[in-house]
Structure 1
Amino acid sequence: MWIQRSIALPAARRGFHLITRSITDAVPEIAQMQIGLMHVFIQHTSASLTINENADPDVRIDFETAMNHAVPETLDYVHTLEGPDDMPAHVKASMMGTSVTVPITNGRLALGTWQGIYLCEHRNRGGSRRVVITLNGETA
């Protein structure tokens, strides 16, 4: 079975936002799969996706702090037409990546106990973000 959906995530403030539920709600066919893969791809250059701890909200704050330290807005960037947060957002998105892939086992994502899928919004006002979700697998 192959399924593909494109969904719009609502605009989110700068930071790291758990989107696991939004993703799984968009593809209820996961429940029919015995074994498979879910691939999620973000169609933007200033936001990214990652998988990490979903329990402690402090992790989200620390992610933002670490990324801002690693990629400061105060560097002498050349690409500045879209504001001071744009080029650092591109760098952060390239560092973190545009996609995640998760195994599907017995109708569920095979995420670890404390794992969740994050939208990493690197712009102050990034707007709505589009993701393409692709499922591939065998049904029961």
Structure 2
Amino acid sequence: MHSTEIEIRTGGSAVVTDLTREVERFLADTPNGAEDGLLHAWVPHATAGLAILETGAGSDDDLLAAIDELLPRDDRWRHRHGSHGHGRDHVLPAFLPPYATVPVLGGSLALGTWQSVCLVDTNIDNAVRRVRFSFLVG
């Protein structure tokens, strides 16, 4: 197994950050080269998740709008520390888990044409995130 951790600065607003290039760099740096196996990504945070989705064509904004509709940033949440409505950020990982696993074939991610590995962070109180990538040999 080969593993590394990167730091992502997400800023002060809800964001979808495409991590696909970072994953590809990680696979390229795998000792002896990545061939067939699994890429596992993990976000060790209680208020962020990972998703496989299309970016750049509006889907990332649509996802954030859907999260706002499904999990409004308001006073309904019992978890009340932090910014207004921050409790919803703690519910997010139940809908967008803090992990994703993608097949790697011949050293390349086996993603569909429009798929990307993305960090989804709605927590405006924490602008720095860590993401761990692990390559598991098949």
Report if TM-score (shorter chain) is over 0.5: yes
* Residue in 2 that maps onto 1:81: 81
State yes or no: 1:113 paired with 2:129. no
Aligned position for 1:10? 9
Q: Displacement of 1:25 after TM fit?
A: 1.9
Q: 1:27 to 1:34 in 2, by over 3 A?
A: closer
Give the superposition deviation at 1:132: 1.2
Contact 1:38–1:101 (8 Å) recurs in 2: yes
Give the alignment's TM-score, normalised by structure 1. Answer: 0.87
Counting only pairs closer than 5 Å after superposition, residues 7-86 of structure 1 correspond to structure 2 as: 7-12=6-11, 13-29=13-29, 32-56=33-57, 58-86=58-86
Letter in 2 for 1:73: R
Q: CA RMSD in A?
A: 1.8
Aligned length: 136
Structure 1 counterpart of 2:98: 98
Offset of 1:29 from its aligned partner? 3.6
Q: How far apart, in 2, do the equivalents of 1:94 and 1:126 lie? A: 19
Q: Check conservation: 1:20, 1:118, Cα contact below 8 A.
A: yes
Per-residue deviation at 1:60? 1.1
Unaligned 5+ residue runs, structure 1?
A: none
Deviation, structure 1 residue 11: 2.8
Identity across aligned pairs (percent)?
A: 24
- Secondary structure of 2:36's partner? strand
> Deviation of residue 26 (structure 1)?
3.2
Question: What is the CA distance between 1:75 and its match in structure 2?
Answer: 4.3
Q: CA separation in 2, counterparts of 1:61 and 1:92?
A: 16
Counterpart of 1:130 in structure 2 is 130
After TM superposition, the runs of 4+ consecutive aligned structure 1 residues lying more than 6 A away are: none
- In the alignment, structure 2 segments of 5+ residues that lack a partner are none
| CA–CA separation in structure 2 for the residues paired with 1:5 and 1:34 | 17
Deviation at 1:78, TM superposition (A): 1.9
Write the distance in 1 (CA, Å) between the matches of 2:34 and 2:76: 49
- Matching residue's letter, 1:46: T
Q: Which has the higher strand share?
A: 1
Task: Provide Cα deviations, 1:19-77, integer angstroms capped at 9, x if missing partner.
Answer: 11123223424582321000000010111101011351x11111111111001122422
